[in-house]
A and B are shown apart, each in its own frame.
Chain A
Amino acid sequence: MGLQESLASKKFVVTSEIGPPKGIHIQEMLADADLLRGRVEAINVTDLQSSVMRLGSLAVCHLLQEKGLEPILQMTCRDRNRLALQADLLSASVLGIENVLALTGDYASLGDHPQSKPVFDLDSVSLLSVIKTLETGTDMVGNPLSGAPKFFAGAVVNPGGNPVEAQIFKMEKKIKAGASFFQTQAVYDVGAFEKFMKRVAPLKVPVLAGIILLKSAGMARFMNKNVAGVFVPEPLIQKMAKTEDRVKTSIEIAADLIKDLKGLCQGVHIMPIGWESKVPAVLDAVKL
């Protein structure tokens, strides 16, 4: 079953992601992806994550596809204008890539090329509209295409947004513009997430809660301070600070979160950020 069918079947869906390397050595990344085979429905391939120049998402999605893994092409609006984004969507289509995650993208100055010109010609909402328009067989200004591509478009939402109401308004816009599923920013506070899910329940759209594997107490504190909308409660930080075995504790925390989230949303999206090899153990712990 593919991502779209799995979400439609209402089963609990797991997605994960890999980040292309800075360079052309791809063996490690492909080995990481292989570890996810049969364990997740689909694998996000990040698009110059953290605004760092590296191997592109589209080529890596193609490699995964060739290996029989289902990719989700992440597309940000930071680096390409409307011509390039539409062209890459057509490129994805001819390569058989249908899952697209439309994002605004991190700001350019946060990465390793702060001198670059940030594009943001489209935003996440208008990119979703463009995807829908291409599917009708025309480009965004109405010129006919030879053939109509087919996509399965998703988007992101930050349940810890400030104010969260503004995030929900935008989430509704994204649905209107064509988003069929959502992946969220990392969730650690299940109580707060439950409140969020109650508010978005009327939207009736599948939501996959974001899980970032905690690597250390320091990482948790760093995220609390620097990553907008992420809040790691103090007891979890203490657990990581006191443990003898960080990997084991990290896996336990992620597994506990997934167990608690199971009744609240339609799945989880695990972002291992370098700890790809630990994902199977997390899924073992929750029998997924």
Chain B
Amino acid sequence: MLLSQQKPLEEILSFLDGEKNIFILGCNGCAEASGTGGRPQVLEMKEALEKAGKKVTGFSVVDFLCQKALVQSRLRGKAKEVKAANSILAMTCGVGVQAVAAVSNKVTHPACNTLPLGGIRGEWQGSERCWECGDCVLDLTGGICPLTACSKFLLNGACGGTTKEGKCEVDPEMECGWRLIYEKLEKLGQLEKLRQIYEPKDHSKMMPPKGLRLSERWALEQGK
């Protein structure tokens, strides 16, 4: 289980700046349980985007956006709507956004922040991992998380430790996360995003929110 919280609409609209046509993906897994990416939220988002002058080319609510194969088959079924869109808005956790970005050639924007659960987790995620940092940066990094893909969790680009083979010098088995980000942004025509300087992370957002500890998380644990 990963707990997510919708980003403020202004932030989402800033991601979509200059893009007219958007395809929305919702998730019937944790995002639905969190009330951030189920069908009702997707429909609300569609309305909000249309109000802001966007055209929603289509939407789909997939059972688990963290399942790449499932996402791929769903997107295939919606090929026309996806193709007509400039980008995909993924209303899901950080794992879901990365899975969508990994299987599609569209820019994938995160609509949510993934909140820390303090160790409660009922699954082991694949290559797309989420730090639950509470302040999702996937919009700027081609849908690949620099916190989990880079050994040093660097926010401002690769260190000097990328090997000839493109691996991380810390672990020769591991791809250099920033090389992957560079290549993805290049493919998406978004290398300009590498110019943005990230502010240091706000680590206070990485503690489980008090309110959630007292209410939602407890309710989730209790199966309510």
Contacts and interface: CB of A to CB of B under 8 A. Distances in A.
B87 to A, nearest CB: 22
Interface stretch (A41-49, A58-66, A155-163): A155-163
Residues of B contacting A: mostly = loop
Contacts of A255: none
A162 B156 contact: no
Contacts of A161: 158, 160, 162
A166 B160 contact: no
B169 interface: yes
Contacts of B170: 107, 109-110
B191 interface: yes
Contact of A118 (B152, B191, B195): B152
A209 to B, nearest CB: 14
Contact of B152 (A120, A173, A185, A229): A120
A93 interface: no
B197 A125 contact: yes
Contacts of A163: 179, 182-183
Given A109-B170, A166-B182, A156 B194 contact: no
A59 B106 CA distance: 52
Most chain A C-beta atoms within 10 Å of own C-beta, residue among B157, B163, B183, B191: B157
Given A162-B166, A166-B178, A177 B197 contact: yes
A228 B162 contact: yes
Contacts of B179: 162-163, 166
Contact of A173 (B156, B159, B161, B201): B156
Contacts of B1: none
A246 interface: no
A74 interface: no
Contacts of B183: 163
A104 B156 CA distance: 10
Contacts of B182: 163, 165-166, 169
B133 to A, nearest CB: 13
B203 interface: yes
B198 interface: yes
B160 A126 contact: no
Most chain B C-beta atoms within 10 Å of own C-beta, residue among A129, A169, A177: A169
Interface string B13-48: 000000000000000000000000000000000000
Interface string A82-121: 1000000000000000000000111101100000001011
Contacts of B178: 166
B218 interface: no
A229 B158 contact: no
A189 to B, nearest CB: 13
Contacts of A54: none
Contact of B155 (A109, A123, A176, A177): A123
Nearest to B182: A166
A178 B183 CA distance: 27
A37 B111 CA distance: 58
A180 interface: no
B203 A121 contact: yes
Contact of A228 (B169, B200, B201): B169
Given A110-B170, A120-B152, A229-B162, A166 B200 contact: no
A257 B197 CA distance: 35
A139 interface: no
A170 B152 contact: no
Q: Which 6 A-B pairs have the closest CB atoms?
A: A158-B160, A170-B157, A125-B156, A169-B194, A107-B170, A166-B182
Given A123-B152, A228-B162, 7 more contacts: A104-B159, A110-B170, A123-B154, A125-B198, A162-B163, A169-B182, A228-B161
23 contacts: A104-B154, A104-B159, A105-B152, A109-B170, A118-B152, A121-B203, A123-B152, A123-B154, A125-B156, A125-B198, A162-B166, A163-B183, A165-B182, A166-B158, A166-B179, A169-B191, A169-B195, A170-B157, A172-B195, A176-B197, A228-B160, A228-B161, A228-B164
